[in-house]
Amino acid sequence: MSVYFVSDLHLKPERPDLSRAFSYFLNSTAQNASELYLLGDIFEAWIGDDAPTPGLEEVLTELKNLSDNGCKIYFQHGNRDFLVGEQFCKTIGAELLPEQIVLSLPVGDAVILHGDQLCTDDTEYMQFRGLVRNPAWQKNFLSKSLEERLAIARQLRDTSKQRTTEKSEYITDVNTDAVTQTLAESGVNLMIHGHTHRPAIHKLEDATRIVLGDWDKQGWYLKVDDSGYDLVSFEID
């Protein structure tokens, strides 16, 4: 039983190399997976299931093929693709997970999440997160035309990138107390998340926090099986 985790691919038409790398991962590495967890920000932006990102049709087909061949696929929202819904998950044969959940893995129980909710020092972002995760805001956004949604998404993305460059690194990283509290409330000693683009395995006093890497010049995945866990990187051509 091999379980794989990826996050922060930020797939978009402007980076076909990322799509090719993900296709290779799905058709080679993930072929022996019993479960594949997509922990958010798989897409650079998602404005609704009725407007899938162009140029990614092959990747979506390969995800569905993987699911049809017996691999269970799970999707968890990120801060870029929080509008992914049940319709999309049905298309690729995946199950939509809550934003935080405890799993039973070969190495024991673990809490998984995208990770943005742990960045509590970034109060500006946390306020924004609360706004866009509000069902009323999402309903209003999805009621707009595709052109309006694209314009809003572009503006939000540009503003986010600008604000991020202005913030200190500690502000955009996870808050230690938030990590400790989440582990305690979950009753586990293993956490898996992405979001921060700081891949590492952190050994805490009585727990372990594994941070998935973002895909850019390198791709990243976490493999978990009976022998333990392995955070793996590979070059993207």
pLDDT of residue 11: 97
Q: Give the predicted TM-score (pTM) of the model.
A: 0.95
Q: Tell me the three state secondary structure of residue 160.
A: helix
- Across the beta sheet with 3-6, the strand order is 94-96, 72-75, 35-38, 3-6, 218-225, 228-235
Range of the domain at 180: 3-235
Q: Work out how many domains the chain is built from and give that number.
A: 1
What CATH number is attached to the domain comprising 109? 3.60.21.10
- Contact between 3 and 105 under an 8 Å Cβ cutoff? The reply is yes
pLDDT per residue rounded down to tens, the chain (237 residues) = 799 999 999 999 999 999 999 999 999 999 999 999 999 999 999 999 999 888 999 999 999 999 999 999 999 999 999 999 999 999 999 999 999 999 999 999 999 999 999 999 999 999 999 999 999 999 999 999 999 999 999 888 888 777 777 777 777 899 999 999 999 999 999 999 999 999 999 999 999 999 999 999 999 999 999 999 999 999 998
